[in-house]
Structure 1
Amino acid sequence: MQAKTAAMVAGAVASIALTGQVFAQSNVSIYGIADNGVEIINNASSAANANNTLTRLSSGNLSGSRLGFRGNEDLGGGLKAVFILEAGIGLDTGTSLQGGRMFGRQALIGLQGQWGNLYLGRQNSMMLEWMSKYNTMDNATWSAKVHDGAFSDRMDNAIKYTQKFGAVEMATYYSTNYNGQESSDSAKVGRQYGLGLQYRGEGFGMAALYDQKQGTTLATKDNADKHLTLGARYKFGKAEVLGGYLTRRQQALGVADVRTNMVWIGGSYQITGPLQLSASLYHTDRKNSNQDPTSVIAMAKYALSKRTDLYLIASYASNKDNASQAQTLGVNGFNSNVAAGKNQFGTMAGIRHTF
């Protein structure tokens, strides 16, 4: 009996040890960002008054608030299986963002190896993954995406491939329908694809990306929204300079093409260990129109620790007096809480914690 018991115990210990070895090959982590603050903007439009001052809590000002799960498994021979499930959360209301999706920021699985990285699922376009990094505000609420929402693009039903060659990285992606279900009616409906190159050297980086979207219905399948974006950054000492150029062409059947060019430049400086100051200037030139808005965004960020920081951001959006509502730029984007033809000033202060 004692021998049988000893054998059972030895078997259980061996089983636990084997299980531990299996788990040791896998790595799963939970991570997130909690970011919330107060936003105040003037000349905010409403049904009753076009000159309101709007004060509200605003989530994800500096970084989108999120809860994520990330993992990988070593398959041997330099090959890994990876996954990301990342949910966007509005801390002001506790609701799911990205249209109410459970994992609206990212939901993907893939393989990584010496041959490159292949990902399948809902994921960032390279406008978000790369090009938003070439302005001082990254993908903050007030950033380059105020002038062009493509800087914050995510894609449903997407396949992405990336590969690095030293300091050079290439990426290409294709979505069978970037914002919904695939269509059997046409090979064009809802398609999105892109191709880019990036160089990240010591203190210097630059990237170029072409991105194109087709219309999301059978009637608009031949409509196209095309972006060609260039960005560069240079860091020296405690300072960094960032800038870029974007040219966009929107094509729709039966109407003239809409062409816009956007330029931006900015910089940041680490005043002390915890205190950083930064500012950016953005300008959009809409061809065959004099309604060309400009915005300036400045920020002071103070790190209380490696995980928690305070921030104060100010933004000013300048428009022509005769700008239509659709072409009026507010601090939160075109036709967003701003009265037609008005300039707008806004400020936000908040706290961000990462874990």
Structure 2
Amino acid sequence: MIKLKPGCSAAVLVLAAIASKPACAEVTLYGILDTFVGYTNAGGKGAQTAEQSGGLYASRVGLRGSEDLGGSLRATFDLENGILTNNGSATNSTQAFSRNAWVGLASRYGEVRFGLQNSALLIMHSRFDAFNGGTYGSLLHNASTFTFRYNNMITYWSPNVAGFTFSGGVSLGGQTSPHDALNAYVGAIDYQRGPVYLGVSHAEQNGANGEVLTKTTFAGGSYQFGNLTGYVGFYRGNNLGANLNTNVAGTYHSVYWLSAGYMVTPALHLMAGIGYVQDSTAQHDNAGEVSIGTYYNLSKRTLLYATVARLVNRHGASYALIGNGPFTPNTPARGEGVTGAQLGIVQFF
């Protein structure tokens, strides 16, 4: 991370000017650059080799900062944009900051944030997975459909109390009739103490009529046994079609995911996972995946990673190996499987 001492000017994007002014707040320029080469062979579609952005992490660049207002009160903000490192484009060309754009106030009693924010579900589900909720190797991510982030969000993030933290928020739909149409509600609670981590998060999205249309839940945890860490992850959602107009109340699909990571050396880590997708509809569009992977830290800021995965679909299921980047996957024909391997590099700054 690059830390700059900005002045009172709001022109935070003019970095050179900011750095030369008298300090009144601290701003950090940060980013993650993740590029990989992936090979997939999808049933009914064929083989593909492609360079993509965002295997282990979604690539991004951002500015975050805070200002001490006195009396333990701080003003905070984060501006973050998604990028594609394989071609240099923005993940969303219509937005200046597609991942985060919020301001907040923080104290010893917690923090309140206003604006575009990552969902607690996105933040939490990576902690249930040896693959960090990314790469071809994570069925928990490959087979889960949920909203990554929300516009018009108001959230509260609690301080740590005896190992417990809590967050809750509402995304305002801004409608007049009914006034809660298109609102979304998100909450999460987790516990971290010693080798144990446990968490659960839940989101509900209203439809245009103000009634709850989609429900999504993540739950799981991890336990560290020396150099070995075991993970369990669970997902349940009724957003089957990734489209608010296609969801059916009471119809869900669930993902059950077991994975483990082993630290061979401080630099070398090995991962493995196995999971199953269960569809509660009459179509029984089930699926399963097994995967292995590794990453190697070349330094504190640079790592290499590799994964191999096999995903099998049943009946009409067509899950694919998607990783963390917003790229078009090699999706198999319905009921067909896909095999994939990837080799990537990540640079943090």
- TM score, norm. by length of structure 1: 0.83
Match of 2:144 among 133, 142, 148: 148
Is the counterpart of residue 175 in structure 1 residue 168 in structure 2?
A: no
Match of 1:109 among 80, 103, 126: 103
Question: How far apart are residue 25 of structure 1 and its match?
Answer: 4.8
Which residue is 1:10 aligned to?
none
Q: 1:108 to 1:232 in 2, by over 3 A?
A: same
Whole-angstrom CA distance in 2 between matches of 1:254 and 1:316: 28
| 1:209-236 deviation digits (Å, cap 9, x = unpaired) | 2211123xx3x65351112321111112
Question: Do the aligned residues in 2 keep the contact of 1:26 with 1:71 (CA within 8 Å)?
Answer: yes
Which residue is 1:332 aligned to?
322
Question: Do the aligned residues in 1 keep the contact of 2:42 with 2:330 (CA within 8 Å)?
Answer: no
Q: Which stretch of the first structure deviates more once superposed, 334-343 or 77-86?
A: 334-343
Is the counterpart of residue 257 in structure 1 residue 247 in structure 2?
A: no
Whole-angstrom CA distance in 2 between matches of 1:254 and 1:236: 41
Match of 2:179 among 183, 187, 198: 187
Question: Do the aligned residues in 2 keep the contact of 1:329 with 1:336 (CA within 8 Å)?
Answer: no
User: 1:87-102, aligned counterparts within 5 Å?
Assistant: 87-98=81-92, 100-102=94-96
Which residue is 1:275 aligned to?
268
Q: 1:354 to 1:185 in 2, by over 3 A?
A: same
Q: Which amino acid aligns with 1:233?
A: S
Q: Which amino acid aligns with 2:98?
A: G
Q: 1:118 to 1:336 in 2, by over 3 A?
A: farther
User: 1:30-45, aligned counterparts within 5 Å?
Assistant: 30-43=29-42
> Matched residues, percent identical?
26
Q: Which amino acid aligns with 2:267?
A: P
Q: Which stretch of the first structure deviates more once superposed, 80-89 or 250-259?
A: 250-259
Q: Which one has the largest radius of gyration?
A: 1
What are structure 2's unaligned runs of at least 5 residues?
1-18
Which residue is 2:204 aligned to?
212
Question: Do the aligned residues in 2 keep the contact of 1:303 with 1:310 (CA within 8 Å)?
Answer: yes
Question: Do the aligned residues in 1 keep the contact of 2:45 with 2:331 (CA within 8 Å)?
Answer: no
User: 1:274-293, aligned counterparts within 5 Å?
Assistant: 274-287=267-280, 288-293=282-287
Which residue is 2:133 aligned to?
139
| 1:50-76 deviation digits (Å, cap 9, x = unpaired) | 332111111011111111101100011
Which residue is 1:162 aligned to?
157
Question: Do the aligned residues in 1 keep the contact of 2:199 with 2:220 (CA within 8 Å)?
Answer: yes
Question: Do the aligned residues in 2 keep the contact of 1:260 with 1:284 (CA within 8 Å)?
Answer: yes
Question: How far apart are residue 107 of structure 1 and its match?
Answer: 0.8
- Greater fraction of residues in helix: 1
Aligned length: 318
Whole-angstrom CA distance in 2 between matches of 1:129 and 1:37: 22
Question: How far apart are residue 253 of structure 1 and its match?
Answer: 9.2
Match of 1:298 among 264, 286, 292: 292
- TM score, norm. by length of structure 2: 0.84
Question: Do the aligned residues in 2 keep the contact of 1:36 with 1:91 (CA within 8 Å)?
Answer: yes
| 1:63-107 deviation digits (Å, cap 9, x = unpaired) | 111111011000111110010001100011211114642211111
| 1:175-220 deviation digits (Å, cap 9, x = unpaired) | 013xxxx3333323321112221101111110122211123xx3x6
Q: Which stretch of the first structure deviates more once superposed, 167-176 or 331-340?
A: 331-340
RMSD (Å) for aligned C-alpha atoms: 2.4
Whole-angstrom CA distance in 2 between matches of 1:273 and 1:253: 47
Structure 1 residue ranges, 4+ long, deviating more than 3 angstroms after superposition: 22-25, 220-223, 249-257, 333-336
Q: Which amino acid aligns with 1:76?
A: G
Question: Do the aligned residues in 1 keep the contact of 2:135 with 2:307 (CA within 8 Å)?
Answer: no
Question: Do the aligned residues in 2 keep the contact of 1:204 with 1:232 (CA within 8 Å)?
Answer: yes
Question: How far apart are residue 116 of structure 1 and its match?
Answer: 1.1
What are structure 1's unaligned runs of at least 5 residues?
1-19, 45-49
